[in-house]
Amino acid sequence: MNPQAALRLWPLALIVLIGLVLWAEHNAFWRDAEATSGVRVDCETLDSGCSLMNDGREIRFGMQGEVKPLAPFEIWVAGVAAVHKAEARFTMEGMDMGFNLYTLRPDAQGVLRAKVTLPICVTGRRDWNMILELDNLRLIVPFVTKL
């Protein structure tokens, strides 16, 4: 292709690119739409643990360590037996926080644990949602980090 033909095609390529971006935004391609569906659990004591009843069993969960961005801390879940999928991720309403998915693994006592690190929010927001996926159960746990 000669350079003059390429110069004539760049406006078309730009229009196609803009169209793809608008389509992706309209279809929530970059947003975490799944994070809004699930069982919302309001827990003010994540450092000492919270619980809920599900299918006749008590599920307990919490965090250990200082919960702030870029500092590792641990999340734990107890009271679930033989789950095939135990994952956690962290989101903010209306903001893409990148890929942060953690697999929880059982310790010797059967408590599921994962060491996690929150990304930093460039706008300074501190309001998070921890999304816990335990097989078919999705828990949405809002919390606020320290500075």
For the stretch 107-144, pLDDT in tens is 999 999 999 999 888 888 999 999 999 998 999 999 99
Q: What is the pLDDT of residue 22?
A: 61
Residue 86 has pLDDT above 90, yes or no: yes
Residue 34 has pLDDT above 60, yes or no: no
Q: What is the pLDDT of residue 113?
A: 97
Report residue 4 as tokens. Answer: 């003059």
DSSP one-letter code for 119: P
For 53-80, what is each residue's pLDDT tens digit?
988 889 999 999 999 889 999 999 998 8
DSSP one-letter code for 118: P
pLDDT (mean) for 83-110: 91
CA distance 126 to 136: 28
CA distance 76 to 45: 13
Length of the chain: 147
- Main-chain phi, psi angles of 139, to 5 degrees: -105, 135
For 7-19, what is each residue's pLDDT tens digit?
777 777 778 777 6
Numbers of helices and strands, H then E, in the chain: 1, 10
CA distance 68 to 147: 7
